[in-house]
Homo-oligomer: A and B are copies of this chain.
Amino acid sequence: MTIDHAGIVGAGGWGTALAILLGSKGIPVKLWGNEPDLIAEFAQTRENRPFLPGVRIPDCVEPTDDLAATADAPLILVVTPSKAIRSVAARLAAAKPRPGSPILSCTKGIEFETGLRMTQLLAETLPDHPVAALSGPSHAEEVSRGAPTAVVLASAEPAVAEELQSLFSTGTFRPYTSPDVAGVELGGALKNIFAIAAGICDGLGLGDNSKAALVTRSLAELIRLGVALGGKRETFQGLSGVGDLMVTCFSRHSRNRGLGERLGRGESLEAATASSRMVAEGVPTTRSAERLARSLGIDTPIIDTMRDVLFEKLPPHDALLQLLARHPRAEEE
């Protein structure tokens, strides 16, 4: 199998950044988005102004509003918000993609109704295709500008992971391979919940000491739940676990941390999300993760508290003080 072109399903910031990355290597890409007006604008201006203003989209990237146009490619990237994945996968399946062509999930989330990770959902809907996941600390804007970035490419099939690694590698974009698809996906999905909590800490002005304590306990909770859900502990110590958690909790760019900051300043969830085109995946992931944790009997105080803040109107200030006060006496308890 030689991957000499690709289809990208989802033309938000990350889908476009990956299109630019492949395009910069001369690899033709069909980039699908669901808003015909925007797609026509990208094609004309060679720029994704809402998400990546000022970055030129290479000529070999062809924006399209026809999902079936991506199905013929020897590789399909799925980069839509998590809640759109199931319907997009069904539409892709109907367009009959080439049997055996890999489907790469670049979306971070867990389906609420089923508890499925994105690659599980894709494998269910597109059973004749190997699946893989791309995750790790990678702001789209930085990747689109060529800032040095390291990510993880996970697949149960080593040959698939290695071929994708070679396809995506550039002088500044370095994918590592991993066989732990569950761990890589769970790290990427769960960290968004903790980023909202860290953002609330910022919005309340509690300070760096509080935030460090919160993020330390977030990592422990991420590992506890992630291992129970089938991920490997070592994966959570790596780029797609602690690496992605740190950058999301501390970066000015992070949309989930930013959402938390607005909540911490007193905005409602509706107000804080209404003003952005970007989807804060931590919000739906909180519900999915809380449900999974409860079904497995795993102790997840931070996730539970975030659920109360996001969906039960627990005031963020009370939530954070409650979390910070909930300390055992010895560190390893």
A150 touches B246 (CB 8 A): no
Chain B residues with Cβ below 8 Å from A258 are: none
Kindly provide the distance from the CB of A316 to the nearest chain B CB, expressed in whole angstroms: 14
Nearest CB in chain B: distance from A103 CB, A: 21
Q: What are 10 A-to-B residue pairs whose CB atoms are below 8 Å? A: A136-B212, A137-B213, A138-B209, A148-B206, A174-B327, A176-B330, A178-B331, A215-B243, A216-B238, A219-B242
Question: CB-defined interface of A225-261 with B at 8 Å, one 1/0 digit per residue?
Answer: 0000000001101110011101101110100000000
Known A-B contacts A177-B330, A237-B220, A327-B174; A247 and B149 likewise in contact (beta carbons under 8 Å): no
Partner of A247, one of B211, B242, B247: B211
By a CB distance below 8 angstroms, the chain B residues around A136 are 212
Q: Any chain B CB within 8 A of the CB of A152?
A: yes
Chain B residue nearest to A320 in the complex (CB): B148
A219 to B234, CA, bound (A): 12
Q: A148-B207, A207-B148, A329-B165 are in contact. Are A243 and B212 (CB under 8 A)?
A: yes
Q: Is the C-beta of A35 less than 8 angstroms from some C-beta in chain B? A: no
Give which listed residue, B137, B219, B238, B329, contacts A208 with CB less than 8 A.
Answer: B137
Complex-state Cα separation, A147 to B247, whole angstroms: 23
Q: Are B142 and A209 in contact, CB atoms less than 8 angstroms apart?
A: yes
In whole Å, how far is A120's beta carbon from the nearest beta carbon of chain B? 21
Tell me, rounded to whole Å, the shortest Cβ–Cβ distance linking A302 to chain B.
Answer: 14
Whether A332 sits at the interface, judged by CB under 8 Å, is yes
How far apart sit A208 and B251, CA to CA, in the bound complex (Å)?
Answer: 7
Contacts of A321 on B, CB cut-off 8 Å?
Answer: 148
Chain B residues near A239: list those with CB within 8 A: 212-213, 216, 331
| Contact, CB under 8 Å: B246 / A212 | yes
Q: Give the residues in chain B near A165, CB-CB below 8 Å.
A: 329
Query: Which of chain B's residues have a CB closer than 8 A to the CB of A209?
Result: 137-139, 142-143, 147-150, 247
Given A152-B331, A234-B332, A208 and B243 contact (CB-CB distance below 8 Å): no
A34 contacts partner chain B, Cβ-Cβ < 8 Å? no
With a CB–CB cut-off of 8 A, which chain B residues contact A139?
207-209
Q: Which residues of B are found within 8 Å of A329, using beta-carbon distances? A: 162, 165, 176-177
* Set B142, B176, B327: member contacting A150, Cβ < 8 A: B327
The verdict on A324 contacting chain B, using a C-beta distance below 8 Å, is yes
A139 → B minimal CB distance (Å): 6
